[in-house]
Structure 1
Amino acid sequence: MRILTYRHLNVGVKIFQLCLNFSVLRWKVHLAFFVTMLPWVFTTVAAGLLALLVFQTMFYPHFWDDLIYYLKLRKIGRVMRCRMKQGVITFLDCFVHQAKKTPDKPFIIYEGQVLTYHCVDRRSNKVAQVFRTVGRVKKGDVVALLMSNEPDFICVWFGLSKLGCEVAFLNFNIKSKSLLHCIQSCGAKTLVVGSDLLNSLDEVRISLQDSGIDLWVVDEGSLYEGVTSLLDKLETASEEPPPAEEPPQTDIMSNFLFIFTSGTTGLPKAARISHLKAVMCLCFLRMCGATAEDNVYIALPLYHMSASLLGIGGCIELGATCILKKKFSASQFWKDCQKYNVTVFQYIGELCRYLINQPKVTEETSHRVRIAAGSGLRSDVWREFTKRFGKIQIREAYGLTEASIGFINYTSEIGPIGRAGYFNKRSLPFEFLKYDPVTYEPIRTETGRCVKASKGETGILVAPVSAMNPFLGYAGNKVMSEKKLLRDVFKEGDVYFNTGDLMLQDHRDFVYFRDRIGDTFRWKGENVATTEVSEILGSVDFLQEVNVYGVSVPGYEGRAGMAAIVLKPDQSLDGKKLYSHLVKNLPAYSWPWFLRIQTALDVTETFKQQKGKLVQEGFCPQMVQDLLYFLDTSEKTYIPLTEALYNDIICGKIRL
């Protein structure tokens, strides 16, 4: 056994010190090398980052915009999933949740009346209790709602939803025949009418009652037999929510609402809105940049999805305040914005054009509006709007009632409805298909598959039907529901929703709306169904055939109505009688502004009316050899369309 002496230990320490000194020397050399190389490394990395930035700016200038928007969507999705785990699942759940969270926050401001979130929640409970006890309305019933913009539209809607009813929003512009069709198609057994609209039921009230439809009026009393008043019964109704089922069960894919949309069939179609679709609409205003501190001005009709689900729903999701208007007034708009401290407003393209055509007022530049969110804004109006009314961020969007596909233009680019880059397609997939310019049907290859449109080429917007993009179809119309679906598009078994809209994706991935195919056109912010207008005009005794279509008019968004007509033998055009017929049977936005009298209508070999050539020729007297007439609303008749009159319309001296 060897014994370690002090001398051995001393030698070991010296060896250790020598090794340590060598290691320190080595690290000093490495450090010196690193310090020497540091500027080179920094310069190389900076140059690489700069080159990458230049490349991104040149070829992907909106990369960060797309990424930030995508991350915002992902964040909202996580919040929604978290809420659902806590039992806040439906659109109504979100409202009740917000009412508990911010009970004293003003929710609806209407003509000086202020209703907090708690007030609307409590009043909707009363509505639910009245319909449950007096009306005997139960879960699963369909209730039609015919009301103008007012707070009780929302209270009645939410109250019926608390009973588990499916509410059907009716356009208050529709007339007798269309109204009966709407109620019948959605299967409503109860109709709730605003007090100001009760007279519009005069022609159909008896028919509705004979059909077993329960009629209610939102008033203190009723002058009509068989029409039950609502407001007087709210005074004694309980403020407690109606009894809930145990355990509460809601299928997120089941139907929540019916919203009527014009289609190619003529009469309105009842689009089913799922709970999922309604919940997805909640995030619209947030994605446009709105916050809880905003006052949102809504003058669009609540029977539209844009006002109800996107507008009211957007306020609920944010906890913001809605400034609700009964009807849009261009002359009052900026005064309202200043009076109510409006910071966000919803629009359709025509609304902004009306504002531009108004005389200048001081309020139009002294307001605090920072965001305008909507759809249908023409590029020239867009430019003039931002130039005239201050630094307002325009958030042009596109969406559909029937499906969840949509776009928001979150950039400063004027004109597009949104973007179609990589991140956008990850959120909600979509494609643009090549189509036949005559039939407007998607072009298919020899194998039966559709072909994607190239960038810079107009195509039909389609979106795959999926759990996140369901299509529940139209109530009572299986044929039209099936027509909206494309099958075996890219592979066997796949199903896509056909929007019927023509879009263009440019080489920078911006998406532009080009046109709406089918038998509808858009005018004054509304979809006009040509078949419906043709049927109404066809009932006039001196008309034999009618073909309705839309024509472009310089300075106007959408297309104005025009009708090619054939008079019955030995009959002449009675302009005053035709005008009276229109007033009685059609909303003003559906009236044909121009008439073209023909001896016979052009039809295809399958006897379908041809519209393409008529649309192309328009209403120019030099291009059209037939007699042309113009609707003179001041004289309440149709007058001959002369070249002088045509020029006045084109240059804007005569407004439509």
Structure 2
Amino acid sequence: MSKNAVSQLLLRALLATFRLCKALLLLLFGFLSWCFSSTIEYLDRRYRIKEDFHIVPFFLKSVFCYCIDLKSHKFQYWYHFVKQVEQNGDCMAISYPRPLAKKGDFQLESYTYKETYDIVLRLSYVMYQHYGVRAGDNIAVDSTNKPLFLFLMLAAWNIGAVPAFLNYNTLGKPLVHALKISSISQVFIDPQASGPIKSSEKIIQEELPDVKLHYLNENDLMQSLQDPQFPQFLQEEDVRSPQDLTDYRPAMYIYTSGTTGLPKSAIMSWRKAVIGCKLFARILHMDNQSIVFTAMPLFHSTATLLGVCAVWSAGGCVAISNKFSASNFWKEAYLTNATHAQYVGETCRYLLHTPVSKYEDMHSVKVAYGNGLRPDIWQKFRNRFHIEVIGEFYAATEAPLATTSYQKGEFGIGACRNYGSIVQWFLSFQQTLVRMDPEDDSVIYRNSKGFCERPAVGEPGEMLMRIFYPKRPETSFQGYVGNKKETESKVIRDVFRKGDAWYRTGDLLRADKYGLWYFMDRMGDTFRWKSENVSTTEVEDEIMNSNQEDFDQVVVVGIKVPGYEGRAGFATIKLNNPGIPERRKVAILNEMLIHLTRELPKYAFPIFVKLVDTIEMTDTNKVPKKKFRNQVLPHGANGKDTIYWLKDYKEYKKLTSKDWAAIESQDAKL
């Protein structure tokens, strides 16, 4: 064999060896990459580290920048809005499908950040020069959902005034009380919201003669505000931001319902409006391309803070519906190109009960977030409306902190706190659950040393939020204006050690083995029967699971029964078809009983049931359960209601006067 041939053979052998080594290296690299990605996927499933790395660096950077803003005394939301005007001036800030005369038709209005800014400066001129609004004033905004509401809010912030957002359905004494406790000097009224306040003018003038009511002409006002020649007013910074202003002072007042039936004015601090909303936007993956659609009332913190302020902090757009309409919800979301949509209370259930619409498949919403989405319809809602992510959160208007969840797939359904291990560890210093007294779930348990204890996994406990400076609780929890008693009732001290202080949420939550938290009940909604705790939410879920064809909605409470300890379960069920025959009503209740027997212990069965045509809701689509506890047996307050009872835990039948007499005498045992 010639030298040439030998050389060629050696060269081929070397090339083959090189290719083999290359292939082996590629295989090794692929194997290592697979191992690495599998490890990452496993760690993410187990510890949710991807979301940690999405949140933690951003949080640290935001807190650092916020500290700089505190030092420069530019921590108010106005300065953050101005930054967005400078950075995203030509981007959309507000989108509004204005309802037209023909029901279901809309005209889309939109305003860029720069347009919004110019309009706000012109409105500031009107408010400052024509109405005499000054820095430090408390003014009320009485408006429906529309751009005017947001213009009024921003104009107040520019001037340095504090806006209070009235529930435009409030009238009479509650309205006067709301104005009084917040020391309101002037009220700016949208014509669409003017009815209740006009009917209350006399009592306002009698009790608050110095309060000025301004009925705005929206059409004329908006024409002036969009005129480039109209004068503008920009407040001087040292007037808007005096040296004694702190970031826990009010950015706005939000009214919540009170135990006496009168509203309470919760202080929403600049800290919550700025850093809280900025972090919330990050957790919900908002950016300058995001459009948040909200049909929730802007006088509520869910819409104004977690909708408007959150998406603006990311440079995105808020799309506001004038009023929630289940039939038009997805049409409006489609018209505004929304990427995110808010829900509250029973909103999602209402949407599921609407006829199928073409807009369900045309909208671009990928994230639905809010609070009150029940586990029994969680996946149905996602699947029908093509929602990729559910952002269930827990928050109270006055609470210093919130919990959130960014839930995909099957893991974490129903959770309202779902973070990675790093964030969970960090939050353990800020939020906790404490055990309840075994004999009374409205009382926090204290051990022999007088301290509280954390509940076991799966055991319900009241959620507490830390007050970092116990001697000055207002730095964490600002409470309610003019209501010291209610404010102090929300603070509990000496919880885990002498001298500490925590904010009481008044809500029961539970933790699972993964560290996820789930909302269970308002304290007091859980009741004791047969010496056992009954979760109203759990019973409601199982009743709905038993028959979603006939049942539209259910409310469960505990009621007092003469001669019995604790409270007996009382279920109010709204039927899809109230006109079904009486025999069928009894039949579906006993079909429900078969399901409950499989899923619940006997003590949790509702002893009494009432079938109704409608269930009263609040303005934010929540059930006012306190009203349902005042049941009059055996035939309701009007003496005409049909109520059913569970006889011997074997069957439901009509509750007659004779049956009730037997129950009262305990001849018939419950």
Percent of paired sites with the same residue: 27
Superposed, 1:103-502 pairs within 5 Å as 103-110=89-96, 111=98, 112-210=108-206, 211=208, 212-219=210-217, 238-245=231-238, 248-249=241-242, 250-279=245-274, 280-412=276-408, 413-419=412-418, 421-427=421-427, 429-436=430-437, 437-438=439-440, 440-466=442-468, 470-502=476-508
* Kept in 2: contact 1:456–1:505 (CA 8 A): yes
Matching residue's letter, 1:218: L
Match in the other structure for 1:547: none
Match in the other structure for 2:596: none
Superposed CA RMSD: 4.0
Match in the other structure for 1:512: 518
Q: Could you give the per-residue CA deviations for residues 288-340 of structure 1, whole angstroms, max 9, x where no partner exists? A: 11221122211110011111011111221121122211011111122223322
Q: Could you give the per-residue CA deviations for residues 565-590 of structure 1, whole angstroms, max 9, x where no partner exists? A: 99xxxxxxxxxxxxxxxxxxxxxxxx
Matching residue's letter, 1:260: Y
Shift of 1:243: 3.7
In 1: Cα distance, 2:251 partner to 2:475 partner = 15
Matching residue's letter, 2:302: S
In 2: Cα distance, 1:297 partner to 1:154 partner = 15
In the superposition, relative to structure 1, how do residues 231 and 647 fare at CA in structure 2: closer, same or farther (>3 Å)? farther
In 1: Cα distance, 2:383 partner to 2:95 partner = 29
Match in the other structure for 2:82: 96
In the superposition, relative to structure 1, how do residues 638 and 121 fare at CA in structure 2: closer, same or farther (>3 Å)? farther
In 2: Cα distance, 1:473 partner to 1:220 partner = 34
Matching residue's letter, 2:609: F
Count residues with an aligned counterpart.
520
The secondary structure found in structure 1 opposite 2:461 is strand
In 1: Cα distance, 2:46 partner to 2:388 partner = 26
Q: Could you give the per-residue CA deviations for residues 106-160 of structure 1, whole angstroms, max 9, x where no partner exists? A: 2112122222212222222222222222222222111121111010101111111
The secondary structure found in structure 2 opposite 1:398 is coil
In the superposition, relative to structure 1, how do residues 362 and 476 fare at CA in structure 2: closer, same or farther (>3 Å)? same
* Kept in 1: contact 2:160–2:241 (CA 8 A): no
* Kept in 2: contact 1:88–1:97 (CA 8 A): no
In 1: Cα distance, 2:124 partner to 2:396 partner = 30
Q: Could you give the per-residue CA deviations for residues 27-82 of structure 1, whole angstroms, max 9, x where no partner exists? A: xxxxxxxxxxxx9xx99x979x8899499659934344445433443344345446
In 2: Cα distance, 1:647 partner to 1:167 partner = 53
* Runs of 5+ consecutive residues of structure 1 not aligned to the other structure: 1-38, 222-228, 522-550, 567-612, 631-636, 649-656
Q: Tell me the TM-score normalised to structure 2 length.
A: 0.69
Shift of 1:86: 6.8
* Kept in 2: contact 1:129–1:237 (CA 8 A): no
Higher alpha-carbon deviation: 360-369 or 178-187: 360-369
Match in the other structure for 1:576: none
Shift of 1:343: 1.7
Matching residue's letter, 1:445: N
In the superposition, relative to structure 1, how do residues 503 and 519 fare at CA in structure 2: closer, same or farther (>3 Å)? closer
Shift of 1:388: 1.4
In the superposition, relative to structure 1, how do residues 78 and 616 fare at CA in structure 2: closer, same or farther (>3 Å)? farther
In the superposition, relative to structure 1, how do residues 466 and 185 fare at CA in structure 2: closer, same or farther (>3 Å)? same
* Kept in 2: contact 1:398–1:407 (CA 8 A): yes
Q: Tell me the TM-score normalised to structure 1 length.
A: 0.70
Match in the other structure for 1:24: none
Shift of 1:83: 5.7
The secondary structure found in structure 2 opposite 1:282 is helix
In 2: Cα distance, 1:281 partner to 1:472 partner = 17
* Kept in 2: contact 1:485–1:495 (CA 8 A): yes
In 1: Cα distance, 2:485 partner to 2:236 partner = 39
In 2: Cα distance, 1:615 partner to 1:206 partner = 50
Match in the other structure for 1:641: 642
Shift of 1:262: 2.4
Higher alpha-carbon deviation: 232-241 or 449-458: 232-241
1:619 and 2:619 aligned: no
The secondary structure found in structure 2 opposite 1:369 is coil
Higher alpha-carbon deviation: 554-563 or 297-306: 554-563
Shift of 1:97: 1.6
* Kept in 2: contact 1:503–1:513 (CA 8 A): yes
In 2: Cα distance, 1:85 partner to 1:557 partner = 51
The secondary structure found in structure 2 opposite 1:434 is strand
In 1: Cα distance, 2:446 partner to 2:606 partner = 27
In 1: Cα distance, 2:184 partner to 2:241 partner = 24
Match in the other structure for 2:531: none
* Kept in 2: contact 1:160–1:167 (CA 8 A): yes
The secondary structure found in structure 2 opposite 1:640 is coil
The secondary structure found in structure 1 opposite 2:93 is strand
Match in the other structure for 2:532: none
* Runs of 5+ consecutive residues of structure 2 not aligned to the other structure: 1-24, 99-107, 528-538, 545-550, 563-602, 612-630, 646-650, 654-670
* Kept in 1: contact 2:94–2:317 (CA 8 A): yes
Q: Could you give the per-residue CA deviations for residues 212-265 of structure 1, whole angstroms, max 9, x where no partner exists? A: 2111122169xxxxxxx9668867862231344369434212121111122444
In 2: Cα distance, 1:206 partner to 1:103 partner = 45
In the superposition, relative to structure 1, how do residues 91 and 448 fare at CA in structure 2: closer, same or farther (>3 Å)? same
In 1: Cα distance, 2:192 partner to 2:476 partner = 36
In 2: Cα distance, 1:263 partner to 1:293 partner = 39
Match in the other structure for 2:658: none
Matching residue's letter, 1:488: D
* Kept in 2: contact 1:254–1:274 (CA 8 A): yes
* Kept in 2: contact 1:127–1:160 (CA 8 A): no
Match in the other structure for 1:548: none
Shift of 1:508: 1.0
Matching residue's letter, 1:283: L
Matching residue's letter, 1:102: N
Higher alpha-carbon deviation: 89-98 or 462-471: 462-471
Shift of 1:642: 5.3
The secondary structure found in structure 2 opposite 1:96 is helix
In the superposition, relative to structure 1, how do residues 132 and 51 fare at CA in structure 2: closer, same or farther (>3 Å)? closer
